[in-house]
Amino acid sequence: MGPDPGRYRAWTEVYVDLSIATSRQDEVVMLSVTGDVDLATGQQLEREIAEAVDTAGPAGVVVDLGGVGFLDSSGISVLVKGRRLADGRGVAYRVTGASGTIRQVLDITGVWGHLSGQAG
């Protein structure tokens, strides 16, 4: 027998949980992220970051992780790809609002300074 379709439906409803609010002030695009950033939701965030980089002025893009409850390696990869995309287009890029476990993960993996602009 195959997987129970009802069980899969319940899993997607519970675990695919990400919302991204976009706001703009002058030439800065702010993405306020809420939920889990993982393999299931990373592509959504990647698209939003790419769109923000495309429409932002040189003052840039700010990705606020204050509402993120979970971040896995695919989510970290999305954030780093966003940084590379912005750097390649001459657009400032900064990740803010990471705290608790999310901040620890970014610190331990060595990317926090690069993403936040607080290298050193």
Q: Give per-residue pLDDT as tens, 49-61.
A: 999 999 988 889 9
Question: Where is 91: in which H helix or E strand?
Answer: none
Side-chain-side CA neighbours of 14 within 13 Å: the count stands at 6
- What pLDDT does 57 receive? 83
Chain segment 28-38, per-residue pLDDT in tens: 999 999 999 99
- What pLDDT does 16 receive? 58
- What pLDDT does 117 receive? 85
The ranges assigned to domains in the chain are 17-116
The segments of the chain whose pLDDT lies below 50 read 1-2, 7-15
Topology at the third CATH level for domain 17-116: Transcription Regulator spoIIAA (3.30.750)
Distance CA 1, CA 18 (A): 32
- What pLDDT does 58 receive? 83
pTM of the predicted protein model: 0.84
CA triple 81-59-24, angle to 5 deg: 90
